[in-house]
Structure 1
Amino acid sequence: MTRDAFIAAARAAERDMRSVFPETPLMRNDHLSARFGADIWLKREDLSPVRSYKLRGAFNAMRKQIPGKSLFVCASAGNHAQGVAFMCRHFGVRGVVFMPVTTPQQKIQKTRMFGGGMVEIRLVGDYFDKTLGAAQAFCSEAGGHFLSPFDDADVIEGQATVAVEIEAQLGALPDRIILPVGGGGLSSGVRSYFGTDCAMTFVEPAGAKSLAAALAEGQPVDVSPINNFVDGAAVAKLGEKTFARLAGVDPGDVLSLSEDRICVTIMEMLNVEGVVLEPAGALAVEALSELGETIRGKTVVCVTSGGNFDFERLPEVKERAQRYGGVKKYFILRMPQRPGALKEFLEILGPDDDIARFEYLKKSARNFGSVLIGIETSAPSNFDALRGKLDAAGFTYTDITNDETLAQFVI
């Protein structure tokens, strides 16, 4: 398909979906604009009916298959499942959604709610590979249509409607668009629509750099094991069809951001702007800090791809943000087992230091005990003063804040 044909198809899809749900807003963000000296706009896909852009691709793929197919099958534990369920109810067709057994009940319930009785949910496998295999096998046996979350030409075309709306809402092309990347459905669709008419930055989580790996190897490669924290963009292998549209991307336009760093943006957008973003939805906003002077004075659109955030994760997100910001650390402290030792340690703490965790782990010797201690403070520099006082007092300690293996067991 030529670019002109793709543009025409995406525009037709965008017109058709207006009978199902309204366009998502493109909103100028004064806070970010002032901070970066640029004209920053947020394309609020987190405000769609299912709080992500995924229903776009589901709509476009299903409208092209009906009435030929009356059964649609997918494998997903998140936004894709909800988009498919929403569209099954809209079109009045049957859907079967396969999810891992470990899927949180909140996501299962939301998918069932959006399906409105038209969707059956099947929990299969502890890991997604088994879930996907079961879904594809069932689909083949039942004669249904399998809806890939990203590696499908019609899905890609549907996700490109994000670009159609940006162009119409802004009234011109932005200088730069920042897009999160998982399997590549959104990014390949937007890139296919805009081509090289505006600059693009592609952002993926550091624990799942599937686009960067594909560009380096010249083909999609499996980057397992991946970090699933940014669940909306944590994909082990870029799609074949999406890579065909992203193969010409300059590797210098691909950024990776640490999972902890993304948490800083989630907390900032929640506390300052009242905007609820899931980790994948915060990727594009956090990338602004990396671009720095290159965007000063420019018009920039960040696609906030989703807002399906489970608030049970908030304590973990806050924890990760504090650790990344250097205002919370964990130590293993060797504490003398004698009267007054704890008091001596407490007197070392500064006025802004707060003990967030204190736990005896075990006695390492008759006269000493190992203590896990977590400390929050107001500024990273306070830890330099604390270490100096601990050293002067003769305390033995180990900073385990960034030791992921050890932290999994004791924090």
Structure 2
Amino acid sequence: MSDQEDFRDRARAAMVAMRQVFPATPLSRNDHLSDKYGADIWLKREDLSPVRSYKLRGAFNAMRRADGARLFVCASAGNHAQGVAYMCRHFGVDGVIFMPVTTPQQKIQKTRIFGGDHIEIRLIGDYFDDTLAEAKAFCAEAGGHFLAPFDDEDVILGQASIGAEIEAEMPGGADLIVLPVGGGGLAAGIRSYFGPDQGLKFVEPAGGMSLAAAVEAGQPVTLNKVDSFVDGAAVARIGEQPWARLAGIAAGDVLAAPEDRICITMLEMLNIEGVVLEPAGALSVDALAPLAQEIRGKRVICITSGGNFDFERLPEVKERAQRHGGVKKYLILRLPQRPGALKEFLNLLGPDDDIARFEYLKKSARNFGSVLIGIEAREAADFDALFDRLGAHGFTYRDITHDTILAEFLI
């Protein structure tokens, strides 16, 4: 028996065992995305698992093979924590779960609900890698069994059960499977299950491309900085065991998803389809836009990996989506300090332009003042006409919408 055949058999066995705990997640065609891209788009809805993410699978498989361990320890930005908590209660064992301080409250609260009296949550570290180090140190001291979120063969096998379900539900297969990448457990499982002949695209948040860095270097490397917005996939270093199964993939098969563009995808899926996706869960759908030409006329499966979205973050998601889509801009306007100047400026706005923010910053000279102004337009092209009118009437301004430093202080 080849290594791949053995892996596939073990993944199928894990899938069968899981049916004692939760049903297979739906694999359903999405008409909206299919029409939009002229393709046959299917979603593997891991956001509809009992803990609203695929992490339940790896936790289940690793815990059932843990040789009678009674104390489990893990580190997680949220979804792995919920999977471990759920399974601690299922197996009747204790768990200590370390989570970054920056983890959304929604994920922390759900972890408590799933684990109940069987778990303890410790919030430590601003970034996942700091949390991971603390969890491992505690586990060694307490003599627990550490459940890695992705760098573990049993976890990888558990995530590979998604591939077994896809195979069972879609015997004809798909031309392309698009999947998110954080630490690499899911990606390694799917690639190992289907083998080199299956078309795969791996999607990472632009602010945390640890797989792309590993492909370029030929080995895992640690990123100097990670954007934590896509908290379910913001990992500074791809796992060693996942990398062993991912080595050799083409650089062109690893895609970057800008964080602000992901926000547009999240809102589109929420407003049009009623599908709630967290940032990491939207990665595969977001990648369809740059793949539009390549996927036309083909059957594509997107793995929507999680739906644990804290709706307190919705204003931020909307703000980032508007700015990325070009329909909201922030300007520093040099406004003359004379009667009628403000009215003159307001009269230059288009009929669909809306002032979302207006704040005097300071008087830069006796006759002028600096104003921070936020404007929302119906179409991005509306700003071209507005800027032409401002210039024609002698108004001086600076567009700071994408000026990272100024935006952090002023917006």
Q: Which residue of 1 aligns with 2:410?
A: 410
For the 8 Å contact 2:41–2:301, the answer to whether it is kept is yes
Q: Which residue of 2 aligns with 1:22?
A: 23
User: For the structure 1 residues 301 and 127, does the alpha-carbon distance in structure 2 shift closer, same or farther, using more than 3 Å as the test?
Assistant: closer
Query: How does 1:191-210 map onto structure 2 within 5 Å?
Result: 191-210=191-210
Distance 2:307 2:331 in 1: 34
Distance 1:403 1:43 in 2: 37
Amino acid at match of 1:118: H
Deviation, structure 1 residue 35: 1.2
Amino acid at match of 2:376: E
Distance 2:177 2:104 in 1: 33
For the 8 Å contact 2:106–2:308, the answer to whether it is kept is no
- Cα deviation, 1:159-210, whole Å, max 9, x if unaligned, reads 0001111111112211100011111000110000001232011111111111
For the 8 Å contact 2:336–2:369, the answer to whether it is kept is yes
Q: Which residue of 1 aligns with 2:6?
A: 5
Identical-residue share of aligned pairs (%) = 71
User: 3-state SS of the aligned residue for 1:216?
Assistant: helix
Q: Which residue of 2 aligns with 1:320?
A: 320
Q: Which stretch shifts more, 54-63 or 123-132?
A: 123-132
User: For the structure 1 residues 126 and 297, does the alpha-carbon distance in structure 2 shift closer, same or farther, using more than 3 Å as the test?
Assistant: closer
User: Is 2:233 the partner of 1:225?
Assistant: no
Deviation, structure 1 residue 405: 1.4
Distance 2:57 2:306 in 1: 13
Q: Which stretch shifts more, 56-65 or 289-298?
A: 289-298
For the 8 Å contact 2:207–2:226, the answer to whether it is kept is yes
Distance 2:141 2:246 in 1: 33
> Structure 2 length as normaliser, TM-score?
0.98
User: Is 2:147 the partner of 1:147?
Assistant: yes
Query: How does 1:9-408 map onto structure 2 within 5 Å?
Result: 9-67=10-68, 69-408=69-408
Distance 2:126 2:35 in 1: 46
Deviation, structure 1 residue 312: 0.6
Deviation, structure 1 residue 129: 3.6
- Cα deviation, 1:222-271, whole Å, max 9, x if unaligned, reads 11211111111111110111111111111111110111111111010000
Distance 1:232 1:52 in 2: 10
Distance 1:246 1:362 in 2: 54
Unaligned stretches of 5+ residues in structure 1:
none
Deviation, structure 1 residue 116: 2.0
User: 3-state SS of the aligned residue for 1:177?
Assistant: strand
User: For the structure 1 residues 300 and 101, does the alpha-carbon distance in structure 2 shift closer, same or farther, using more than 3 Å as the test?
Assistant: closer
User: 3-state SS of the aligned residue for 2:291?
Assistant: helix
Amino acid at match of 1:92: G
- Cα deviation, 1:17-48, whole Å, max 9, x if unaligned, reads 00000000001001111111111100000000
> Structure 1 length as normaliser, TM-score?
0.98
User: 3-state SS of the aligned residue for 1:40?
Assistant: strand
For the 8 Å contact 2:281–2:304, the answer to whether it is kept is yes
For the 8 Å contact 2:175–2:300, the answer to whether it is kept is yes
Unaligned stretches of 5+ residues in structure 2:
none
Distance 1:299 1:77 in 2: 32
Amino acid at match of 2:234: A
User: 3-state SS of the aligned residue for 1:117?
Assistant: helix
- Cα deviation, 1:53-80, whole Å, max 9, x if unaligned, reads 001000000000041x111000113101
Deviation, structure 1 residue 301: 0.2
For the 8 Å contact 2:106–2:309, the answer to whether it is kept is no
Tell me the C-alpha RMSD between the 2 structures.
Answer: 1.1
Deviation, structure 1 residue 294: 1.6
Distance 2:99 2:352 in 1: 46
Deviation, structure 1 residue 138: 1.2
User: For the structure 1 residues 130 and 183, does the alpha-carbon distance in structure 2 shift closer, same or farther, using more than 3 Å as the test?
Assistant: closer
Distance 2:287 2:133 in 1: 35
Distance 1:31 1:104 in 2: 30
Distance 2:126 2:252 in 1: 36
Amino acid at match of 1:94: D
Distance 2:241 2:329 in 1: 44
Amino acid at match of 1:379: E
**Number of equivalenced pairs:** 410
Distance 1:97 1:304 in 2: 24
Deviation, structure 1 residue 131: 2.3
Distance 2:124 2:283 in 1: 30
- Cα deviation, 1:70-98, whole Å, max 9, x if unaligned, reads 11000113101101000000000110001
Distance 1:9 1:109 in 2: 33
Amino acid at match of 1:46: D
Distance 1:31 1:43 in 2: 15
Amino acid at match of 1:285: V
Deviation, structure 1 residue 136: 0.9
